[in-house]
Chain A
Amino acid sequence: QVQLQESGPGLVKPSETLSLTCTVSGGSISSYYWSWIRQPPGKGLEWIGNIYYSGSTNYNPSLKSRVTISVDTSKNQFSLKLSSVTAADTAMYYCARDTGLGMNYWGQGTLVTVSS
């Protein structure tokens, strides 16, 4: 059974960089696309971007200037960096496996709060 687990700081200061890692277990990261999605409190889902195991990426145009997604196949992990954060970036952040026909495995999510 594939499992995903997000990890990283739960509190980030304004203007700093948010960094999260998603660890994949029960299966290899060396296939499929791997996505980051976020959900501000009480709001809908926003897709941030994804990465193929080879390193090819796609980003949400509204976040593209601030987002970097990377993959470490040796650790079965992929990561998210979001720079110059503001309070608007406060959200639950999820990682997910994208088969090309929907995201069928998700992490439990990690809440990131942007505050000084």
Chain B
Amino acid sequence: DIQMTQSPSSLSASVGDRVTITCRASQNISSYLNWYQQKPGKAPKLLIYAASSLQSGVPSRFSGSGSGTDFTLTISSLQPEDFATYHCQQSYSTFFTFGPGTKVDIK
């Protein structure tokens, strides 16, 4: 199975900061990488699909990049509603796997 790792596991940031989260796959997954945002007590929300495509309705301050094994989610200017946990997920294989998540909280 394909293992997903994320770094950092958590970070503290201020409103307006540029935030970058990294996701790494244990093998080449091409661009089959999706990013989700999850707030406490809520279901995950799809932000980015196919590594760099912005899901409809998601603010343009979110962007994704990468291919192969290394991927990045960037929030260009952190807003109060962005404090949440972010998960990456590979859909390259028929057995999907998620990263362990990155919690973004207020500095």
Using CB atoms and an 8 Å cutoff, list the residues of chain A in contact with chain B: 35, 44-47, 50, 58-61, 94, 96, 98-104, 106-109
B98:A46 contact, CB within 8 angstroms: yes
- A residues less than 8 Å from B50 (CB atoms): 101-102
Given the contacts A44-B101, A45-B87, A102-B55, A61 and B95 also touching, CB distance less than 8 Å: yes
Using CB atoms and an 8 Å cutoff, list the residues of chain B in contact with chain A: 1, 34, 36, 42-46, 48-50, 53, 55, 87, 89, 91, 94-101
Given the contacts A44-B98, A45-B98, A61-B1, A101 and B91 also touching, CB distance less than 8 Å: yes
- B residues less than 8 Å from A103 (CB atoms): 34, 36, 44, 46, 89
B46:A58 contact, CB within 8 angstroms: no
Chain A residue with the shortest CB-CB distance to B96: A47
- What's the Cα separation between A83 and B101 when bound, in Å? 28
Given the contacts A44-B87, A101-B49, A101-B53, A107 and B43 also touching, CB distance less than 8 Å: yes
Chain B residue with the shortest CB-CB distance to A62: B1
- What's the Cα separation between A44 and B87 when bound, in Å? 8
- What's the Cα separation between A108 and B94 when bound, in Å? 24
13 A-B pairs, CB-CB below 8 angstroms?
A44-B87, A47-B89, A47-B97, A58-B94, A61-B1, A61-B95, A96-B43, A102-B49, A102-B55, A103-B36, A103-B46, A103-B89, A109-B43
- A residues less than 8 Å from B89 (CB atoms): 45, 47, 102-103
- What's the Cα separation between A96 and B44 when bound, in Å? 10
- What's the Cα separation between A35 and B34 when bound, in Å? 15
- A residues less than 8 Å from B43 (CB atoms): 94, 96, 106-109
A44:B100 contact, CB within 8 angstroms: yes
| Smallest beta-carbon distance B47→chain A, Å | 9
- What's the Cα separation between A95 and B88 when bound, in Å? 17
B95:A44 contact, CB within 8 angstroms: no
B55:A100 contact, CB within 8 angstroms: no
- A residues less than 8 Å from B55 (CB atoms): 102, 104
